[in-house]
Chains A and B, each alone.
Chain A
Amino acid sequence: MPTKVHVTAKINGDEVEFLCEPRQSLLECLRDILNLTGTKEGCNDGNCGACSVLLNGRLVNSCLVLGVEIDGQEVTTVEGLAGARELHPLQQVFLEHAALQCGICTPGFLVAAKALLDRYPHPSEEQIRFWLAGNLCRCTGYDKIVRAVMDAAKKLSQRTGEVHP
């Protein structure tokens, strides 16, 4: 029986230590060991994007990462998006645009959209649709989600004083 492995990582800016079995996915470690249950399990095979997190700033499906792989790495989950007093602009626009119904896919969409806006602050609609193609939603429909991300891009660039093209 393999013994548990000691993992040290930075999650949402905090140094975190935990013990896990090598077979446990990052998703399981986040939810079941670290009680970060914002990240959701959908398909558990890399198709639906509900478990999306950022690993060293890169969008990944946490169901396809082993918990032991994040030793020494940085992870951002949906819990890391909001500030101390206010929601992240993406979270705010998802509410305003009613870009969610059941909400299971929402954390994944928020993290994927953050990955997009971190890299491309002024994405085209087509770019948004491609960046969110790995996230499935079975109730809201994609249009409201895409509009919300476009609005967030606008608000974020206004906040930083940039002109939205």
Chain B
Amino acid sequence: MKAFEYRAPRSLSEAVALLAEKGEKARPLAGGTDLIVQLRGGRLDLDFVVDIKWIPELNQLSYDPASGLTIGAAVPCYRIYEDPVIRRVYPGLVDAASIIGGIGIQGRATWGGNLCNSSPSGDTIPALMVLGATCTIAGPNGTRTVPVEQFCTAPGRNVLRRGEMLVSFHIPVPLPHSGAYYLRFIPRNEMDIAVVGAGASVVLSNDLSTITAARIALGAVAPTPLLAESAGNALIGKRISDETIAEAARLAQQAARPITDMRGTIAQRRHLVGVLTKRALHGAIERAQKGASHAH
């Protein structure tokens, strides 16, 4: 690995100042499960590695029944799936946190890192999108917020400008009778990268028979993780039925723009989008009906 300098600032302003000063030659380090691999492989050429794990804002994990959930960008996967409140209120996040790498990766890999790595197949990203998560970004000119679905711009690229860093995610309180679910297809049981990922969230009517709002998000089928808005919108006002769900799955297939690569072909991926969208919707509906994600 090429030599670099290491800094571990204790405050956000210190980290932003370092990143702004060093520009392209500096990157934040959180769990290191992407960054260290990229440095070692020569895909990144840095003079400065800025360890952001010691900044309090990046380690927040707090739920407020009035305002929702805040996840610091440096929170690793295990803190998500071990948190009793998240398990109860946001099981769709637990779905994603539990399948990234093995236990050793989950001990380090962070939610902010997964988004900032901006891989089309990042498992946390569709799970965040369907819950309407927003990102708080800090930079030399203050902070701004960006919806998760607008963060990634191309494989490995995102909206962060010079000196900016992701600080945290905010996720609203789930509405009554709502549920979310994420799953992916991989050719083995664990320790793999999604061929396709699909997340869904639904809000149901009081009698639990009709969908009043829905979001569907897809991974690994476009240059960025993709919010399939038309597929989600098609469910609004529809009674829950196999036909309704099949129609949403068909629209998700239309929204997908997959490529053929070592993990799968265009045809296989398009087929999987249909299958996984249906399964994600069934999972989300089941949770909504059971009240799994009810906030109180």
Contacts and interface: CB of A to CB of B under 8 A. Distances in A.
A22 B49 contact: yes
Contacts of A46: 33, 37, 101, 104-105
Contacts of A44: 40
Contacts of A22: 3-6, 49
A131 interface: yes
Contact of B104 (A61, A69, A130): A61
Nearest to B76: A58
Contacts of B2: 23
Contact of A134 (B5, B39, B51, B105): B105
A69 B5 CA distance: 12
Given A46-B33, A46-B37, A133 B102 contact: yes
Given A2-B4, A49-B102, A112-B103, A64 B189 contact: no
- Counting chain B CB atoms within 10 Å of each CB, which of A1, A59, A64, A65 scores highest? A64
Interface string B140-169: 000000000000000000000000000000
A152 interface: no
A52 B104 contact: yes
B1 interface: yes
- Counting chain A CB atoms within 10 Å of each CB, which of B32, B33, B189 scores highest? B32
Interface of A is mostly: mixed
A134 B101 contact: yes
Interface in B6-38: 6, 8, 29, 31-33, 36-37
Nearest to B189: A133
Given A60-B107, A115-B103, A134-B101, A25 B36 contact: yes
B35 to A, nearest CB: 9
B124 to A, nearest CB: 17
A49 B36 contact: no
A59 to B, nearest CB: 5
B193 to A, nearest CB: 11
Nearest to A61: B104
B108 interface: yes
Contacts of A115: 103
B78 interface: yes
Interface in B66-87: 78
Given A59-B107, A60-B108, A134 B102 contact: yes
A64 B49 contact: no
A150 B103 CA distance: 18
Nearest to A1: B3
